Amino acid sequence: CVFTPRNSKDVAAAIPILKQSKTQFAVRGHGHMTVKGAASINDGVLIALTKLNSLSISSDLKVASLTPGRSWLEVYNWIQPYNRVIVGGRYAPVGVSGLLLGGGISYFGGQYGWAANNVINYELVNGNGKIVNVNASSNSDLFWALKGGGSNFGIVTRFDVQTHSGGKVSAGTFEYGTSTVEDALVATESWVSPGGGIDNGKLALSPIYYVDPVSGNRTAIVLGFDAENGRSLRNFSEGAVASTVKERAFADFVAEGAASGQALNIVSNAFHCTSFKASAETVRLINTTVVPEVQKSLAKVPGAQIAFNMQPLSKGWFEAAKKAGGDAIDLDPADGSIIVLNLYTRWSKAADDDKVARWAKNVLQELQDKAKAVGLYYPFIYLNDAAAGEEPFPLYGKGKSLQKMKQIRKKYDPDGVFQDLMPGGFKLGK
């Protein structure tokens, strides 16, 4: 059964029916996770929030109200004429709710923290089917938990978020061929080193390296963002076979990747995540560990494609998050900047699901072991990049957040509706 509510009242009416009949369900906003069952279900009810797609902005343009049925590209195109920006997703097809509930890596993170740190109010349907507002003064403990807590506490039907002034930015994509991919690595190493671009909150980088399992050849693209003047991206011009970097509206930059994002709709794909302390040595360690293992183990897997995205998150990012009121993720600025690795795999046949999953798990373990040996491992898994079986929540706040999150869940969902009847996604556990 697929249920498409028209508004929050429809959602609120559905929860008591599901609860009384003990019917399992799943919730889908616009879609984000690659984890099977996170936004789908067999023998249950799929609550598809597609029709919750309104967008509005306050008279002073400082607060935007977003609903779950929208993609981030739609949001950016809508707000662009107001000369404002919203701290949200980097990739065009990603949905509003999935990104915000998982924390949210953004091009604006160095200035404003996680995307979730910019939410000032959640409209939420709880386990009793009641519509409540969750903010710093009303249900403040739940407000903290929703920032990175995923779908464990209810169904969010509206996000009220801060907007920020946003003129044009210097941004675009650098492309590298097999013969020049080393230039991209060198530039990335420089970026994440002390004094590099990672220390400037108005800059952002998303370097993605591709490995052909058959030939072992590497290529790369680097998405660069500069809210200032673009000079910081010049290092990446060396070796680039093509570049689209120019001064433009932010929405136009995100739209550039829309076509490639839609191309990800294939038979099987998965994210896998781990993290490290940011350094040039870390960039080199990831490359020299992952690349040989791709050709060694996946050359005969039909349709196999491997990419790894080294996502730099700065110390200033975590400082901004705390300044905004904090969150359940609670990373410590004193630990310095980090690199969140998203190892992305896709393949053609479902029969290879287990083989690819084992490969990814083994590679991540090898990486973690090597990193621990040289003091570069960082215990964090970004929820929105996690694979099935990975456990992000026990790592939040250096292990201190999980118990508090469980207590908050028990307070607001004492019957365990979103723990027991909604089996998909990542759970806090009993």
Q: Is residue 122 part of a domain?
A: no
Neighbours of 16 (CB within 10 A): 14
Pairing of strands 268-277, 377-378: antiparallel
Per-residue model confidence (pLDDT) at position 430: 85
Q: What is the pLDDT of residues 65-123, one digit of tens each?
A: 999 999 999 999 999 999 999 999 999 989 999 999 999 999 999 999 999 999 999 99
| Helix (H/G/I), strand (E/B), else coil: 307 | strand
How many CA atoms lie within 13 Å of 128's alpha carbon, on the beta-carbon side? 9
Strand partners, 226: 170, 203
Backbone φ/ψ region at 37: left (φ over 0), alpha (ψ -120 to 50), beta: left
Helix (H, G, I), strand (E, B) or coil at 101: helix
Tell whether the model's pLDDT for residue 264 goes beyond 60: no
Half-sphere exposure of 146 toward its Cβ, with a 13 Å CA cutoff? 32
pLDDT digits (tens, 9 = 90+) for 171-222: 999 999 999 999 999 999 999 999 899 999 999 999 999 999 999 999 999 9
Asked if residue 311 belongs to a domain, the reply is: yes
Counting the structural domains of the chain, the total is 1
Is residue 185 one of the residues assigned to a domain? yes
Neighbours of 351 (CB within 10 A): 11
pLDDT band at 263 (very low <50, low <70, confident <90, very high): very low
* Torsion-angle region of 21 (φ positive above 0: left; ψ -120 to 50: alpha; else: beta): alpha
Q: Quick one: pLDDT at residue 87?
A: 98
35: in domain = no
The predicted structure's pLDDT at residue 267: 66
Which whole number is the average pLDDT over 295-301?
94
What does the pLDDT average to over 425-430?
A: 92
What's residue 269's pLDDT?
Answer: 87
Q: What is the percent of the chain where pLDDT is above 90?
A: 90
Give the residue among 416, 359, 357 at the shortest CA–CA distance from 387: 357
pLDDT in tens, 323-370: 999 999 999 999 999 999 999 999 999 899 999 999 999 999 999 999
The pLDDT of residue 399 is: 97
Q: Give the residues across from 171 on adjacent strands.
A: 225, 246
d(CA 323, CA 312): 20
Which stretches of 334-422 are assigned E, i.e. beta strand? Answer: 338-347, 377-378
H-helix segments, 26-112:
72-79, 96-101, 109-112
Provide the pLDDT for residue 227.
85
Instruction: Give per-residue pLDDT as tens, 377-420.
Output: 999 999 999 999 999 999 999 999 999 999 999 999 999 999 99
The whole domain housing 257 covers: 169-391
Q: CA–CA separation, 290 vs 211, rounded Å? A: 9
Whether residue 68 lies inside any domain: the answer is no
Model confidence at 130: pLDDT above 80 = yes
DSSP string, 105-140: --TTHHHH-SGGGGEEEEEEE-TTS-EEEESSSSSH
DSSP string, 216-264: --EEEEEEEEESS-SGGGGGGGTT-SEE--EEE-HHHHHHHTHHHHHTT
Show Cβ contacts of residue 370 under 8 Å, excluding neighbours closer than 6 positions. 285, 289
Q: Taking a C-beta distance cutoff of 8 angstroms, is the pair 46, 26 a contact?
A: yes
Distance of alpha carbon 140 from the chain centroid: 24
Question: Domain for residue 215, yes or no?
Answer: yes
Q: What is the pTM for the complete model shown?
A: 0.96
Domain contains 287: yes
CA distance 210 to 301: 16
Q: Tell me the pLDDT tens digit for each residue of 141-174.
A: 999 999 999 999 999 999 999 999 987 899 999 9
The answer as to whether 12 is a domain residue is: no
Q: What CATH number is attached to the domain comprising 325? A: 3.40.462.20
